[in-house]
């Protein structure tokens, strides 16, 4: 398998993808508005956002399936804006797999190479490489209709990889899989992408999926980029309430910040954050919520405690609303329902946004 990966690595040099001032209109509807975006060579960048935010439209423009109304698209230094899809040297994995049900595994994977009239020996070698790579050895002659959903997804991935593309595109490829299988397949996709160093653009509405596999996450909102950066930055330093609410769970309430002190109701605690002061919206991740039976803190009453196996979730009613928290594992020391508590906020996981 390592030799197969090494062979494929040498076929294409990773290429960057750059979008400059991209606008896409469908009649009077603007789907994408002035988007500037760069995919570094060899990295996996995810377009994340709710339905209708423009992420799939951007993917289709990179693929050459849609043409921008305005702006340009570059692969490396090459302007591909008007280049048809079949000349862009890209492959795409679709949500529906798009496999040929009357063909077996080998025939599905080899189809693209046969259409481009590659020599038969080259086809056999390249198909054998990707079959080993995605864990389908021994299934080459099996009809794809007889495969499980996860195996079909691997065939679709192998069919994309065997073409040795400059850019690999993923259009919500895991949405048809159950939760456990989705986690395993996304790990496999990430492993292979990193091994081969193929520049990849991945579209999903699942924030956990985006966080798990991406070098960079681009959060879309109503046709524009809301925020972009590495997953950790988007989670810990959101620039807007939309970003904070879409990436992970969060509590939001009003406060006042001045001189290194965050005041919430009648309670205040130290907090360090530059570039903001006065009335603020406080964002607290559930894992940053702290409670105790005594001491300093915002007064509250425990509403609910739920043991979920790997974690324990709880909620507390306070003067600023019901706040939700979580701790790892069992937490028998947590106050029970109806108990009076004090609530405070760990600095890691507390972030201030403009009011």
The string of pLDDT tens digits covering residues 258-284 is 999 999 999 999 999 999 999 999 999
Which pLDDT tens digit goes with each residue over 111-122? 989 988 999 999
Residue 37: which CATH number? Answer: 3.40.50.300
Question: Which pLDDT does position 184 carry in this prediction?
Answer: 83
User: What confidence tens digit (pLDDT) does each residue in 112-160 have?
Assistant: 899 889 999 999 999 998 898 888 899 999 998 898 888 888 898 898 8
Per-residue pLDDT band at 7 (split at 50, 70, 90): very low
Q: Please state, rounded to an integer, the average pLDDT across all residues of the chain.
A: 91
Report yes or no on 73 lying in a domain: yes
- What average pLDDT does range 310-314 have in this prediction? 95
Tokens read off for 109: 């994977």
Residue 242 domain-assigned (yes or no): no
What's the total number of domains in the chain?
2
In a domain, 245, yes or no: no
Does residue 269 sit in the same domain as residue 230? no
- Residue 286: CATH number of its domain: 2.40.50.140
pLDDT of residue 5: 42
| pLDDT attached to residue 2 | 40
Going from the C-alpha of 147 to that of each of 97, 123, 128, 183, 237, the distances in angstroms are 12, 23, 18, 18, 43
Among the candidates 169, 201, 236, a domain finishes at: 236
Rounded to an integer, what distance in angstroms lies between the CA atom of residue 188 and that of residue 185?
5
Looking at the structure, tell me whether residues 171 and 224 fall in a common domain: yes
The CB density around residue 258, as the number of other CB atoms within 10 Å, is 12
Task: Give the predicted TM-score (pTM) of the model.
Answer: 0.86
Considering only CA atoms, which of 11, 25, 209 is closest in space to residue 129? 11
List beta partners, residue 263: 256, 268
Give pLDDT, residue 188: 85
Q: Are residues 12 and 85 in the same domain?
A: yes
- Residue 20 included in any domain: yes
Count CB atoms within 10 A of the CB of residue 62.
25
CA distance 125 to 7: 10
Q: Are residues 304 and 214 in the same domain?
A: no
Q: Are 153 and 109 contained in the same domain?
A: yes
From 181, 214, 236, the end of a domain falls on: 236
Task: Say yes or no: 210 and 333 in one domain.
Answer: no
38 lies in which domain range?
Answer: 2-236
Residue 243 located in a structural domain: no
Is 118 part of any domain? yes
- On whether both 195 and 278 belong to a single domain, the answer is no
Same domain, 116 and 223: yes
Amino acid 183: pLDDT: 87
Task: Write down which residue in 183, 211, 236 finishes a domain.
Answer: 236
Show contacts of 131-134: CB within 8 Å, 24+ apart.
Answer: 131/105, 131/106, 131/158, 132/1, 132/4, 133/1, 133/4, 133/5, 133/8, 133/158, 133/161, 133/192, 134/158, 134/161, 134/188, 134/192
Residues linked to residue 125 through DSSP beta bridges, in sequence order:
none
Note the pLDDT tens digit of each residue in 59-117.
999 999 999 999 999 999 999 999 999 899 999 887 777 788 899 999 999 998 998 89
163 and 215 share one domain: yes
Residues in contact with 121: Cβ distance below 8 Å, sequence separation at least 6, in sequence order: none
pLDDT: which is higher, 7 or 218: 218
Both tokens of 70, joined, read 């305005």
Residue 317 shares a structural domain with residue 347: yes
* 313 and 187 within one domain: no
For position 6, what pLDDT does the model report?
Answer: 43
Do residues 108 and 99 make contact, with C-beta atoms less than 8 angstroms apart?
yes
Q: Is residue 244 part of a domain?
A: no
Residue 295 and residue 212 share a domain: no
The rounded distance, in Å, linking the Cα atoms of 330 and 43 is 38
The answer to whether 24 touches 61, Cβ cutoff 8 Å, is: yes
In a domain, residue 31? The reply is: yes
Share of the chain above pLDDT 70, in %: 97
pLDDT at 12: 57
């Amino acid at each position: 398998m390592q030799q197969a990966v090494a062979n494929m690595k040498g076929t294409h040099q990773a290429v960057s993808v750059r979008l400059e001032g991209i606008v896409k209109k469908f009649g009077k509807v603007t789907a994408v508005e002035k988007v500037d975006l760069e995919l570094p060579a060899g990295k996996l960048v995810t377009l994340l956002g709710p339905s209708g935010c423009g992420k799939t439209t951007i993917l289709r423009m990179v693929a050459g399936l849609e043409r921008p109304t305005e702006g340009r698209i570059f692969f490396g230094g090459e302007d591909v804006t008007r280049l048809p899809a079949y000349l862009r040297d890209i492959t795409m994995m679709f949500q529906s797999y798009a496999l040929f049900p009357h063909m077996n595994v080998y025939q599905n994977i080899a189809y693209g190479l046969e259409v481009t009239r590659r020599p038969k020996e080259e086809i056999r070698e390249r198909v054998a490489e990707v079959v080993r790579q995605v864990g389908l050895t021994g299934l080459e002659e099996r009809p794809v209709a007889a495969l499980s959903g996860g195996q079909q997804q691997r065939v679709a991935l192998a069919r994309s990889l065997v073409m040795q593309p400059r850019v690999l595109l993923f259009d919500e490829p895991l949405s048809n899989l159950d939760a456990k299988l989705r986690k395993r397949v996304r790990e496999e996709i990430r492993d292979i992408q990193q091994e081969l160093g193929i520049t990849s653009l991945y579209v999903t509405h699942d924030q956990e999926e985006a966080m798990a596999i991406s070098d960079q996450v681009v959060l879309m909102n109503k046709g524009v980029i809301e925020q972009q950066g590495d997953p950790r930055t988007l989670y810990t330093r959101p620039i807007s309430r939309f970003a904070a609410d879409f990436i992970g769970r969060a509590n939001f309430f009003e406060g006042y910040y001045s001189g290194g002190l965050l005041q919430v109701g009648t309670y205040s605690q130290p907090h360090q954050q530059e570039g903001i002061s006065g009335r603020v919206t406080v964002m607290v991740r559930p894992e940053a919520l702290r409670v105790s039976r005594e001491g300093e803190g915002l007064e509250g009453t425990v509403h609910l405690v739920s043991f979920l196996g790997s974690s324990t979730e709880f909620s507390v009613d306070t003067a600023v609303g019901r706040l939700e928290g979580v701790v790892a594992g069992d937490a028998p020391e947590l106050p029970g329902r109806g108990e009076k508590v004090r609530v405070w906020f760990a600095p890691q996981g507390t972030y201030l946004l403009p009011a």
